[in-house]
Structure 1
């Protein structure tokens, strides 16, 4: 527990962190990697280059400061981050190193404003928060290894099949090299894929949603190919072009807190944009396997039919349900989609049950627009769940 004095100091620094947070976290990562370049084997380099990691960490630090007297308010975010940490292999010994350089960055950016009293308060607060992460992740590591078929860290898998799902998305079917059965996962969860790409100095880790209902025989991920000139285009072009059937990659046990209860019978609406269809397809396929009477609405938005993955499969699964419906929204209109343009409040009001639970996944601008549109038509925030492809924060 933190002393009242410490909490008062942390709260008092919150306005400063709101202004300087990203400057502090940018300096933090620079200093951290200069001293410990081996940690670049854990972090997503693309998120670092684009500044997303720095922003996410700054937001997390600010949230901790604002909620220091009621840290339970940030527990949902802590759980999401802990899942990512476990899937990446973050260990207890990493936390003191991170704490050391976070305090150094605060001192360097705030200079005389970072008094010994302030630094001591943040050291104490960081220690408490780090202990929460370490404890939670310890249990997650135990669960990942104890589950039937589970393992510790990363395990070799073989790419047994590659299937082109659209002009930009390809599915990879993965089987363990040791031919063991695979641990189950919840529909919506992801795996971390670890690659050593020729010419890259450090290991590349990427998290991909599992894009099918669970089967003990294989895992399937469906990856959008990013342009090689794009800052995102390191891993996905390598997967699409260089890795062939029979090649191996390394995978961690499925993780993530964005999933559905397939046994629930309450109405559910699944809304995806672009490659965000991947966890939604896993959810839909899992529901259909239950022969459920649950009302299900599936809505997908894409630029065009050419880039739309799983279009026929989703329509067939929705049709197979007693109370299933599916809709397609294409930005570039044609005679195939149900709606043309963007997914607006007006469209949503026509086709969704506002009493249902909503699950949303896709690019951040898409999700912001959809979440705002749902709020505009009167859907309470607690009914909306979402997952985006990017850092919650890492460490």
Structure 2
């Protein structure tokens, strides 16, 4: 009896070890701020046949990943496949994006759960009865107040079958729902109109008729063409709508605009080419509930007030507060000479203003050149972060007395 019990335990341990080593149980992978996995819509694939594979992301609350055009900053999710010889993977079918405003920037991406289907084609020489492993390296940029690049090595076992495989009872309906929700072409006719006031897209179709649109937004496929953060003004028409768009600073007038038109929760893939205005695409004006907004800052006065408040808070940061102490000590040394103290304070003010105006001008020049960058975007670059970390280490060692450099420069 004892021998049977020991033999059973050994067999169970061996089976557990074999299952743990099986790539079919790779399952979901936790990257840090999201969980990712691969799943198939069917329980196998025929030689030379196709199978829908989906990349599932479950993103932590308060974080988001990016669409194919990330907007003013960020980077789209990427999949790099490692497949058996003769197998191939198509492009990602992107789910409809959502707007992700961050300060003055407008980004496009996903929160919560998102499914991104991909069509995988099997090799014609695949042998029924074999089980193949599909592998993919997924790269995400996951953002909240900060952005963190995260990776996942994903795998999926798929059986090669001789006849059409049965749909997976769990994943088949979910993949079909994801494909049905993705924007499709052919439902809307769109025309691109350019003029002195900017660009606009006129769109008509049975799905837009009636002049009942209350909210519309155009997500361009190409970055650097439109000012993503600018408001898109909606003008309704009996047969469709017209959206006024603002070109990106310094961008040339595009020959066409392809992207996703989102209208009241429904999405349509369009490609707007230059042409005459479509009849019935305008004339009814904006929705009745639409009112001009002064923006979150309440106009220029509000923006100045918030900037002043932000500056006060910034003074308490550990990278600023010690500098203020040094400056206060320097000003105190001129306490007996009010004119010299006033002159030094004005010089300090002029230096700060000139420095930040120069940085702002540089940022505008870079954006006018077509780069989708925002303030602080360089801190998403690992080389920049590494260089700054080494610089701070050198400064700390210098201030600790390990060595002393820069005395003459500081005097200047």
TM-score, normalised with respect to structure 1 = 0.30
Q: Larger Rg: 1 or 2?
A: 2
Between 1 and 2, higher relative CO (CA 8 Å, sep ≥ 6) is seen in: 1
Structure number having the greater strand percentage: 2
Q: Would you tell me which structure has more helix in proportion to its own residues?
A: 1
TM-score (norm 2): 0.29
